Amino acid sequence: MKEYTGIAASPGISIGEVLVYTQELYIPNFSISTLQVELEINRFYEALNKTQDDYKEMQRKLGLELTEDESKLFDAHILMTQDTTFFNNVVETIRETKKNIEYVLYNIIMDISAKFTQQDDEYFQDRALDIIDFGRNILRHLLQQKDFSLSQLDKDAVIISSDLTVSDTASMNRKHVMAFVTEKGGRTSHAAILANSLSIPAVLGIPLVTKEFKTGDKIIVDGDTGIVILNPDEETLNDYSRRKTEREENEKKLKTLLERSSDTLDGKHIALRANLEIPEQELDNLMEQRPEGIGLYRSEFLYLSRRKQSLPSEDQHFNTYKVILERIPEDKVVVRTLDVGGDKILEGVTEREPNPNLGWRAIRFCLDNKDIFKTQLRALYRASMYGNLHIMLPMISTIDELNETKQLIEDVKKELKKEGLAHKDRVPLGVMIETPAAVMISDTLAKNCDFFSIGSNDLIQYTLACDRANSRVSHLYQPLHPAVLQMIKITIDNAHKNGIPVSICGEMGASAENAAILIGLGIDELSVSPTNILKMKDFITNIKYSDAKKLADEVLTMPNQAKIQQRVEQWLKKHIR
Ligand code: PEP
Ligand code: MG
């Protein structure tokens, strides 16, 4: 038995078996004898046929979901498996060099892809990615290594990985992923946020787990404390099984709060809304928690959860928003416009940048790609007919970005009118406050929009110059740092001075110790992952706003997170039974 401690990123306890998930391929390199040459060539053809069958099967399974472009892409992959120039090249190279097929194939694929990459044309850059994907698929058959796409998982497992991309997490088969543990990542990385929304316990930032853990090992993952136990003894197993049952019983007790309004004991209403990423997977559970609508729909997951990442059409956008609005016709539904970039890479659409969080992200990307942005705005305005839609803009740092978007909205409305497409005349427009610049101009922004939502995940990273997804600096990622609290205070004061509401939709709002201060500072709404709604309702309904206000005034004078945290803990002990 061995115990590890990492970052507690998504709550819950799981007890199960390890599956080490790695995308790395080990390419053996050895010489073969003349007698082995034909055998090696046969292995190549067998792997090629299997790859072709895989593509056909995948195309058949996904048939209904594929757009015309994606379907063509599959056809292109199938054509690659029939390309005689390519086969002849592989076969001749095996004959000439007398090297094993994996080595020969790997080098040929890398050569072709490098030739594509050198072309200064997006089309060829995409083909370079396709050829690598194609090569990997043949190599997997040769190496008898399964393509561990987490979407194809067919038995329960705790996933151990160096890192998980947002698309890995978005496409994983929720039914079988019991928990995940990674070497990299932070509490507010998007993979962690998704784990929360999908109620998958997760612990991040434990070095070397992919080397030290083996597929089939027994494991306990405690997403509440960040503890991971490898091959636990009998006593530990019993202890955690008991804790897991207790947890489930507590969750059942919280259900008694479903009908209750989220008011403090002295009558201040704090709206509790839900964050949403993948409607198909989350909406049913989300609705069961009875939130007052959606405080943040991260619409980029419409792009990221698709198997082949590509841009959705206006109708695909429209249908998704319509489904959400029809499920929640009265309460507010806040759709945040496309926030790609940072750790949310769209292959072939956004670029890998040296400083992705400071780069071509969110509103910056959208305003530079007006066609993409307009497609989304058109769909949003068309969908506005089906409920109480609000639109929110991510990563605003200048008033010009807000004004330019408003102009675009006017253009979109004119177009829709001309085309006779129904839409509301006005959809409330909000700004995410997630850069220090937005905080400092929040008075001006508030005069020009309808609501604010504090994106604390980013606001903390930008205020403290601390990458939210880098486990090495996670100790500096401090929600209760005095600088962060000052930023939040300025934002709330400026919003209220101008008569607009402020919500917080970052992870910070989902813990009692942070929320005590946020409520004291005057926050109007908390938007949290569905799993946290009843927990936060339990908290809100047990405190007085007047006490929280005193606490906030007091901690604003304190010098560091440690002292603030200590004070809040004392406060919670006194005020929460
Ligand atoms: C945030 O930054 O707090 C936020 C809610 O947006 P995201 O986590 O998607 O960047
Ligand atoms: Mg953000």
pLDDT score, position 140: 82
Which residue has its alpha carbon closest to ligand 1 atom 1?
Answer: 455
pTM: 0.78
Q: At residue 10, what are phi and psi to the nearest 5 degrees? A: -150, 130
Domain stop point among 115, 142, 169: 142
Do 167 and 98 lie in a common domain? no
Q: At residue 87, what are phi and psi to the nearest 5 degrees? A: -60, -45
Position 72 pLDDT exceeds 70: no
CATH number at residue 198: 3.50.30.10
Indicate whether 92 belongs to any domain.
Answer: yes
Indicate whether 78 belongs to any domain.
Answer: yes
pLDDT score, position 164: 81
185 or 512, which is more confident? 512
Span 196-241, pLDDT tens digits: 888 899 999 999 998 898 888 999 999 999 999 999 999 999 999 9
What region, left, alpha or beta, does residue 132 occupy, with left being phi > 0 and alpha being psi -120 to 50 degrees?
Answer: alpha
pLDDT score, position 577: 65
Average pLDDT over residues 382-396: 98
118 or 112, which is more confident? 112
Span 529-551, pLDDT tens digits: 999 999 999 999 999 999 999 99
pLDDT score, position 22: 73
pLDDT score, position 310: 64
In this structure, which ligand is nearest to the CA of 454?
Answer: 1
Indicate whether 440 belongs to any domain.
Answer: no
531 CB contacts (<8 Å, ≥6 apart)?
A: 11, 196, 197, 199, 289
Do 46 and 69 lie in a common domain? yes
Percent of all residues in the chain with a pLDDT value above 70, rounded to a whole number: 93
Cβ burial 245-281 (10 Å sphere, 16+ → b, else e):
eeeeeeeeeeeebeeeebebeeebebbbbbbbbbbeb
Structural domain for 298, as ranges: 271-394
Looking from the CA of residue 457, the nearest atom of ligand 1 is 3
Span 289-303, pLDDT tens digits: 999 999 999 999 887
Do 381 and 281 lie in a common domain? yes
In this structure, which ligand is nearest to the CA of 189?
Answer: 1
Position 308 pLDDT exceeds 60: no
Do 8 and 48 lie in a common domain? no
Do 72 and 187 lie in a common domain? no
Position 316 pLDDT exceeds 50: yes
Looking at the DSSP bridge assignments, the partners of residue 181 are 160, 203
Indicate whether 399 belongs to any domain.
Answer: no
Looking from the CA of residue 508, the nearest atom of ligand 1 is 3
CA–CA gap between residue 50 and residue 61 (Å, rounded): 16
d(CA 457, ligand 1 centre) in Å? 5
In this structure, which ligand is nearest to the CA of 529?
Answer: 1
- Mean pLDDT, rounded, of the chain: 90
Integer distance in angstroms from the first to the last C-alpha of the chain?
Answer: 36
Do 88 and 191 lie in a common domain? no
CA–CA gap between residue 171 and residue 194 (Å, rounded): 11
CATH number at residue 65: 1.10.274.10
82 or 380, which is more confident? 380
Indicate whether 12 belongs to any domain.
Answer: yes
298 lines ligand 1 (CB under 6 A): yes
Nearest to 131 by CA among 77, 88, 84, 90: 77
116 or 391, which is more confident? 391
Indicate whether 450 belongs to any domain.
Answer: no
CA–CA gap between residue 152 and residue 338 (Å, rounded): 28
Q: Tell me whether strands 13-21 and 218-222 are parallel, antiparallel or unpaired.
A: antiparallel
Kind and range of the H or E element at 7?
strand 7-10
Do 330 and 362 lie in a common domain? yes
CATH number at residue 376: 3.20.20.60
pLDDT score, position 145: 64
395 lines ligand 1 (CB under 6 A): no
d(CA 296, ligand 1 centre) in Å? 9
Average pLDDT over residues 109-125: 77
Looking from the CA of residue 456, the nearest atom of ligand 1 is 3
Do 227 and 341 lie in a common domain? no
456 lines ligand 1 (CB under 6 A): yes
Confidence of residue 66 (pLDDT cuts 50, 70, 90): low
461 or 136, which is more confident? 461
Q: Tell me whether strands 2-5 and 177-182 are parallel, antiparallel or unpaired.
A: unpaired
Do 275 and 373 lie in a common domain? yes
In this structure, of 26-35, 330-339, 381-390, the range with the lowest mean pLDDT score is 26-35
Do 310 and 223 lie in a common domain? no
d(CA 451, ligand 2 centre) in Å? 16
526, 515 contact by CB (below 8 A)? yes
319 CB contacts (<8 Å, ≥6 apart)?
A: none
**Residue 83, token pair as written in the block:** 């390309």
Domain stop point among 142, 168, 196: 142
Average pLDDT over residues 398-419: 98
pLDDT score, position 148: 54
**Sign of the CA dihedral running 405, 409, 411, 415:** positive
Percent of all residues in the chain with a pLDDT value above 90, rounded to a whole number: 68
pLDDT score, position 307: 47
Domain stop point among 394, 417, 436: 394
Indicate whether 260 belongs to any domain.
Answer: no
Do 301 and 373 lie in a common domain? yes
Which residue has its alpha carbon closest to ligand 1 atom 4?
Answer: 455
Average pLDDT over residues 257-273: 97
Which residue has its alpha carbon closest to ligand 1 atom 9?
Answer: 298
d(CA 434, ligand 2 centre) in Å? 6
Nearest to 150 by CA among 131, 164, 133, 135: 164
pLDDT score, position 111: 87
Q: Is 444 exposed, middle or buried (0-12, 13-18, 19+ CB in 10 A)?
A: middle
Number of domains making up the chain: 3
Indicate whether 83 belongs to any domain.
Answer: yes
Do 382 and 346 lie in a common domain? yes
Looking from the CA of residue 453, the nearest atom of ligand 1 is 5
Span 156-199, pLDDT tens digits: 999 999 888 776 787 788 889 999 999 988 888 888 888 988 88
In this structure, of 86-90, 451-455, 515-519, the range with the lowest mean pLDDT score is 86-90
Confidence of residue 427 (pLDDT cuts 50, 70, 90): very high
* Helix (H/G/I), strand (E/B), else coil: 200: coil
Nearest to 397 by CA among 347, 334, 439, 455: 439
d(CA 527, ligand 2 centre) in Å? 13
Which residues are tagged catalytic? 190, 505
Looking up tokens 């046929």 gives: 49
